[in-house]
Amino acid sequence: MAPERSVRRVTWWGFFLNIGLSMFKVFAGIMGNSHAVVADGIHSLTDTVTDIAVIAGSYFWAKPADDQHPYGHKRLETTVSIFIGFVLFLAAVFIVWQAVADIRCGYVSEPGVIALAAAVVSIVIKEGLYRWTRRVGKKVHSVALAANAWHHRLDALSSIPVLIAVAAAILYPPWYMLDHLAAIIVAVLVFYASLRIVVNGFKELVDEGAPRETCEQIRDIATADDKVRHAYNIRTRFAGNHLQVDLHLAVDGNMTVHEGHEVAEDVKKRIIKGVPRVLDVVVHIEPLEFITPEDDCL
């Protein structure tokens, strides 16, 4: 199955499960007299926003390069992941705001068993969706899908304080404060996840390159060819979760154009095969005698 189809398949499943789960939690919260479960159900609807963003985005970032976008459309995937990160951040702010508001007004509820069941079902389903989405995201190297997976885990985590609060209120009503304290802890975890997603996305948008170890691996692969005397000016940048590589190879100045082309193609194929997630390699062939001391670097 094509990577983009895998992305859409798992995301469509998440979309419909989010709709059904949200309706169930709102219904259970009303029937079980739990405002926390109702709020958790409404919060689950935010997942549908990111699901739609991933589905719509996958149709665009999978498009091949064209005249206006000679490097392809992979950066759209990064833009979607940053959007998801901001949604996670806003969700964290909402959780803290709601917890503080409930503490200030001394909110207390006496929920029923159906509300407890809704919280348990929510945790199980959302954690399952997180693991499935994360696994597919890793398999197809999709940063947007990885970000959306964290949104599923956010919903699972946000249901934990709801579960604790409902169980505590059933067993001993004065323990309602546990709900608010746990919600703030969850918000901190969500904020950390959103910050990581947004920062990584912006690093890509400003063309941060691969780690030095990756560049050294590229150089070692290139110089493994006996006809390559030196590999230098190795530059990398990310496109989505893939890597684009640009490097110069110093060869014998008496080599023919045809021989130089064969060397470049061989090095390109071996780099794409040997370095994970490399999308494309641009190789510049240079005569060895033109190399200066300043070129003796990555």
Instruction: Tell me what the mean pLDDT of segment 263-290 comes to.
Output: 87
pLDDT score at 284: 92
Tokens representing residue 293 in the block = 């001391």
Q: Is 224 helix (H, G, I), strand (E, B) or coil?
A: coil
pLDDT score at 266: 92
Instruction: Tell me what the mean pLDDT of segment 21-25 comes to.
Output: 82
With beta carbons less than 8 A apart as the criterion, state whether 176 and 109 touch: yes
The domains located in the chain, with CATH, are 3-205 (1.20.1510.10), 212-295 (3.30.70.1350)
Tell me the residue type at 200: N
Taking the C-alpha atoms of residue 298 and residue 290, their distance in angstroms, rounded to an integer, is 17
Angle at 196 between CA 21 and CA 97, to 5 degrees: 55
Taking the C-alpha atoms of residue 99 and residue 119, their distance in angstroms, rounded to an integer, is 17
User: Would the pLDDT of 36 be above 80?
Assistant: no
Q: 206-233: per-residue pLDDT in tens?
A: 777 788 888 899 999 999 988 888 888 8
User: Would the pLDDT of 293 be above 60?
Assistant: no
Taking the C-alpha atoms of residue 272 and residue 283, their distance in angstroms, rounded to an integer, is 12
Taking the C-alpha atoms of residue 166 and residue 185, their distance in angstroms, rounded to an integer, is 17
With beta carbons less than 8 A apart as the criterion, state whether 159 and 119 touch: yes
- For 210, which DSSP code? -
With beta carbons less than 8 A apart as the criterion, state whether 180 and 105 touch: no
With beta carbons less than 8 A apart as the criterion, state whether 115 and 32 touch: yes
Higher pLDDT, 73 or 22: 22
Sequence-distant (≥ 6) Cβ neighbours of residue 224 within 8 angstroms: 270
Higher pLDDT, 93 or 49: 93
User: Would the pLDDT of 179 be above 80?
Assistant: no
Taking the C-alpha atoms of residue 57 and residue 74, their distance in angstroms, rounded to an integer, is 10
- Single pTM value for the model: 0.60
236 pLDDT tier (thresholds 50, 70, 90): confident
